[in-house]
Amino acid sequence: MEIDITSRTHLNIYQGLKVPEVWRFENGILQINLLQDGVYVESKSSLNFPDLPLIEVIPQYLEKSRTTGRNATLKAFRSWVNS
């Protein structure tokens, strides 16, 4: 899995490396791309975390970190994942 927050990396680079899952966060939106038959397909869920609604939740926690701080947000996120 690769997580790209720079928005500068092109998916074809990861394709060449055969990275099975790439997450890209841009303009407040999380995009999950899965490698299928050599090309990336956008997905609503992660292969690694199929039961977690990450596309909805990750942006919420990132926004929350701006007001409550990084450490408190990470603690809340971990608690959510464990529940």
Q: How long, in residues, is the chain?
A: 83
**pLDDT at residue 8 greater than cutoff 90:** no
Query: Using one digit for the tens of pLDDT, what is the confidence trace for 16-70?
Result: 999 999 998 888 889 999 999 999 999 999 999 999 999 999 999 999 999 999 9
pTM, whole model, 2 decimals?
A: 0.79
Helix (H) or strand (E) holding 23: strand 21-26
CA dist list (Å): 52 to 6, 9, 18, 82:
24, 25, 24, 11
Residue 58's φ and ψ, nearest 5 degrees, are -55, -50
Q: How confident is the model at residue 11 (pLDDT cuts 50, 70, 90)?
A: confident
